Structure formats: structure tokens, C-alpha cells
Amino acid sequence: MVKQVFAAFPPGAVAGPEEFRGQAAMGGHGARWDLAVTGGQPPLRPLRPPVLYRAPLPRTKLEVPVADGQVTGMLEIDGRTIASSGWRGTVGHNWGSEHADSWVWLHAADFGAAPQAWLDLVLARIRVGPVRSPWTAMGALSLAGDRITLGGLGRRCKVDARPGRLTADVPAQHARLRLSVTTDDEDPVAVPYTDPRGGTRTVRHAALASVELTLRRPGDRALTLSSSHGAYEYGTRQDIPGIVPQPVPEG
């Protein structure tokens, strides 16, 4: 991953949800991109209930303008050009006045027995004064054209989240979802995210993750799917033993 922070939007850069063009440098590596993203599905606004988008908490809001799209264009990494034609991809957008205390972001597609399925899930804990909230899940699983809502405020989930793996039991729309995630990326990237309210979060991003899920619905047999095409991000206010974030340059 190449990440760079800019004080102002760079001239000539474009940022989606349908087009991305720009360049960045980090740790002696450089990247440049010119990509078009197309999708045919409605955006995903995972906060439940929707009034949370107007409420003071959580202080981070999120949406997924393109939950499952096709990416076409050009990537250049350290001088090597890679052409993209019809790659599956997603476009997310976060905004707000404070990062969560801890969070997980997971996106996966290309489930073998259900190749058109996709999963987009965020797990978050927030801090209110000295108190950390339990984990809250929000997101969706798209299966056979049916978008199944995951989590929501007040719906209890069981989570064991770590930098390189995750197990979770998440309430879903008339169902229950069990997840197991392991990162296959041998060289994940860890960077600091500066918080608008001060301080930082350590964020570890693995571009390759294996995901296994089991969906249980009343009256139906449990459905188990697996994918090796996942992305897994873990962020926290806490120190992560053994992980030293790489400094992010400013442009």
C-alpha cells in the first residue's frame, strides 16, 4: 500500500465514486492510477437506524457508493504499469469528526459457490468519556441478488478482532452470520491515522484475506461460503504489540 496525505486536493486528481486519478509516494515507493469504476447496484448506507447519519454519535459516518463494481484503467507501481479490465472492486466513503476507538473493515467477493455474492462489513467500538462501547456491526451480505442487512444499533454481536484475524457472530436480517477471517498477505501495511480530535490510530491493512462465512436462517439449511478475495483492515487507539506503523508522508 502507498499512502500519502495532502494538505489540499492535488491539481489534476479525481476521486470517485466513478473515477479515480492521482499519484502518491511512500517509503521509497511510488504509485500512479487512472481508473474508472462502474456498478449497477444502489449505494449501501450501513448505519442502522438511518437517523444515526444525523445524530452526533457515532462521530464517524460511512457509506459505500459502489458496493460491487467493475474497475477498468491503469495502475503504475514503482514504474511498472498494470492494466485493469473488469476487475471487481468497491468504493467506500467515510467522514466525521473522530475515528472510532477500534474498528474492523472487511470486504470480500468471489465466493466459490456463489460467485456474484459480496460482503461488506464494519465492526466498531466507540469511546464516550472513559467508557468503551461493545462492538457494533453494520453492513450487508449480497446473496443471489438479495441484500441482507447486517447488525445495527442495539443488536448484539460477538467479536474477537485482532490485527491479522477475526471471528465474529453477527445478527442479520432474519438470520445470523458467523465469520472467520485470516490474512494471507505476508507483508501487510501498518500506518498511523491522525484523528481530527487529536492523537492517532494504528491501522493495519491486509489486501489479501481468506473469509469463511456461515449464514443461518430459520427453516433453512445453513449456508457456508468461502473466498480468498477479501481485504481486512484493523484500526485501534491501543498499541499493537510487534507492529510499528510506517510514517505517512505529507504532500
Instruction: Judge whether 135 lies within some domain.
Output: yes
Instruction: Judge whether 80 lies within some domain.
Output: no
- Predicted local confidence at residue 163, as pLDDT: 95
Q: Which long-range contacts (CB under 8 A, 24 or more apart) does 40-47 make?
A: 41/66, 41/67, 41/68, 41/142, 43/67, 44/120, 44/139, 44/140, 44/147, 46/120, 46/122, 46/138, 46/139, 46/140, 46/150, 46/151, 47/138, 47/153
In this predicted structure, the answer to whether residue 251 has a pLDDT above a threshold of 80 is no
Domain coverage including residue 122: 41-67+91-236
Q: Which of 201, 213, 187 is nearest to 240 (CA)?
A: 201
Total of domains in the chain: 1
Mean pLDDT computed over 91-118:
95
Instruction: Judge whether 75 lies within some domain.
Output: no
Instruction: Judge whether 246 lies within some domain.
Output: no
Instruction: Judge whether 249 lies within some domain.
Output: no
- Predicted local confidence at residue 145, as pLDDT: 87
**pTM metric for this prediction:** 0.94
Q: CA-CA distance, 139 to 144, in Å (whole number)?
A: 17
What 3-state DSSP class applies to 52?
A: helix
Instruction: Judge whether 175 lies within some domain.
Output: yes
The domain spanning residue 222 has which CATH number? 2.40.370
pLDDT in tens, 27-57: 889 999 999 999 888 999 999 999 999 999 9
Instruction: Judge whether 17 lies within some domain.
Output: no
Using the Cα atoms of residue 161, residue 166, residue 169 and residue 172 in order, give the sign of their dihedral: positive
- Predicted local confidence at residue 184, as pLDDT: 77
In this predicted structure, the answer to whether residue 205 has a pLDDT above a threshold of 80 is yes
How sure is the predictor about 22, in pLDDT bands with cuts at 50, 70 and 90? Answer: very high
